[in-house]
């Protein structure tokens, strides 16, 4: 490689690094003020994904939103969604690049929740009640989502409307999750189910395992 190409390459990389830092959304940046709350030390990495409805989105202190993460509240920009926030992400979280968080009624992500890339979380889905009307034209249905503090969501996991995941739980990569799951669960599969639980007596164990009497 010639000296000129190396010099140009260094300039491009330095310029890109500067651009990424300058364009990151933080509490003090112009874009940061649009959010209901963007906590101290929080940042939304550049390149930024599709973000709208910021006035109904809360992001906690020291939470990192990865590159190309889309976060939305409502069906589209410019809609008044009422007095309450819709998407709430706690403190100390890390949302993996390319993930989508799509809220219409209520999505609560607790503190210290980490995700791999390309995770999808939504509280709305299309219905197919009328077999003659195109599904995309039928009015969708909302159901709140809760993801407990301390949980980990693996790459490509899909969290569907009405899901409640307990604290300190693991969602396996690629799982399609709907329903209610207790604290300290390992959740995997399509459709997802609990494959491991934790208890003080047994530690981590498969569902249905019981402690044998020592008598």
Active site residues: 126
* Alpha-carbon radius of gyration of the chain: 21
How far is CA 100 from each of CA 115, 129, 151, rounded to the nearest angstrom?
11, 26, 17
- Quick one: which of 102, 96, 110 has its CA closest to 146? 110
DSSP conformation letters of 62-94:
T-EE-TT-EEEESSSTT----SS-SEEE-TT-E
CB-CB neighbours of 52 under 10 Å: 18
As a whole number of angstroms, the distance between CA 160 and CA 192 comes to 11
How far is CA 65 from each of CA 122, 123, 207, rounded to the nearest angstrom?
17, 19, 34
As a whole number of angstroms, the distance between CA 169 and CA 185 comes to 5
């Amino acid at each position: 490689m010639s000296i000129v190409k190396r010099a140009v390459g260094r300039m491009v990389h330095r310029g890109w690094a500067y651009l990424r830092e300058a364009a990151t959304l933080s509490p003090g940046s112009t874009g940061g003020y649009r959010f209901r709350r963007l906590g101290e030390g929080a940042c939304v990495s550049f390149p930024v994904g599709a973000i709208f409805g910021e006035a109904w989105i809360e992001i906690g202190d020291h939470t990192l939103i990865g590159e190309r993460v889309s976060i939305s509240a409502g069906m589209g920009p410019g809609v008044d969604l009422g007095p309450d926030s819709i998407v709430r992400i706690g403190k100390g979280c890390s949302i993996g690049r390319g993930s989508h968080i799509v809220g219409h009624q209520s999505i609560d992500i607790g503190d210290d929740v980490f995700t791999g890339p390309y995770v999808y979380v939504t509280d709305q889905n299309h219905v197919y009640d009328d077999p003659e009307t195109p599904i995309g034209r039928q009015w969708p249905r909302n159901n709140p989502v809760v993801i407990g503090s301390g949980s980990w969501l693996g790459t490509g996991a899909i969290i569907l409307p009405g899901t409640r995941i307990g604290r300190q739980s693991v969602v396996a990569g690629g799982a399609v999750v709907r329903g209610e799951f207790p604290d300290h669960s390992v959740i995997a599969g399509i459709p997802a189910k609990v494959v491991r639980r934790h208890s003080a007596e047994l530690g981590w164990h498969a569902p249905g395992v019981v402690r044998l009497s020592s008598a």
